[in-house]
Amino acid sequence: MKKHILALLSSVAITVSALAHGGVELGPNGGRILKFSKNETMHGEVTVKGGKFHIAVLDKDMKAVKLDAQMLTASGGPSGKAARLEVTKDGDQFVIPTVKAGEWLIVQFKPDAKAKAVTARLQYDTSECAKCKAAEWLCACSATSPKKK
């Protein structure tokens, strides 16, 4: 019985690690897409420039949205020990300090002050994907079948 349980747990662990690899959606600027709405009408595209995360808000057609009343809060760090990060606006993008490799970035987006926040997370895994050579946090290939970029 114990052997069956161990075999089952091993299978689950292998499946989870395979599914966790890659397959993320990339935006028009090659950044990682985060869902900023429940109905897929708002997205955030995360890129890194100058050692900082830059997050552009995109509409359902992946076109940039002008920043007006939108709000973004962020925290990041090791799992279970995330700390609040400073968020600033630079033109039509939010700017946030990068977290260390392997740590989590958690953002909460609100289209306006009265709206309910939508939370999105990404692990900033900077290790290189063996298949596509991109950083894992930007890896668009899947462990089982490649996706088109």
Q: Which domains does the chain have, with CATH numbers?
A: 2-138 (2.60.40)
Q: What tens digit of pLDDT does each residue of 76-129 get?
A: 998 889 999 999 999 999 999 999 999 999 999 999 999 999 999 999 999 999
Strands 42-49 and 88-90, bridge-based pairing: unpaired
Say which residue, 13 or 37, is predicted with more confidence: 37
Answer whether residue 71 shows pLDDT above 70. Answer: yes
Measured distance CA(65)–CA(56) in Å, rounded: 8
Pair 87, 73: CB distance under 8 Å: yes
pLDDT at residue number 110? 96
Q: Is 60 exceeded by the pLDDT of residue 20?
A: no
E strand segments, 11-148: 32-35, 42-49, 52-59, 71-77, 83-85, 88-90, 93-97, 104-110, 118-123
Handedness of CA 130, 133, 136, 141 (dihedral sign): negative
| pLDDT tens-digit series, residues 30-66 | 999 999 999 999 999 999 999 999 999 999 999 999 9
Evaluate if residue 131 carries a pLDDT over 70. Answer: yes
Q: How distant, in Å, are the alpha carbons of 18, 87, 90 from that of 112?
A: 38, 16, 18
Question: pLDDT value at position 145?
Answer: 40
The 10 Å CB-count burial string (b at 16+, else e) for 19-30 is eebbebebbeee
pLDDT range class, residue 24, cuts 50, 70, 90: confident
User: Starting from the edge strand earliest in sequence, which strands make up the sheet with 118-123, in order?
Assistant: 83-85, 71-77, 104-110, 118-123
pLDDT at 14: 40
* Contact partners, residue 133, CB within 8 Å, separation at least 6: none
pTM of the model: 0.79
Q: Which residues contact 37 (CB under 8 A, 6 or more apart)?
A: 43, 111, 118
Is residue 141 classed as helix, strand or coil in its secondary structure? coil
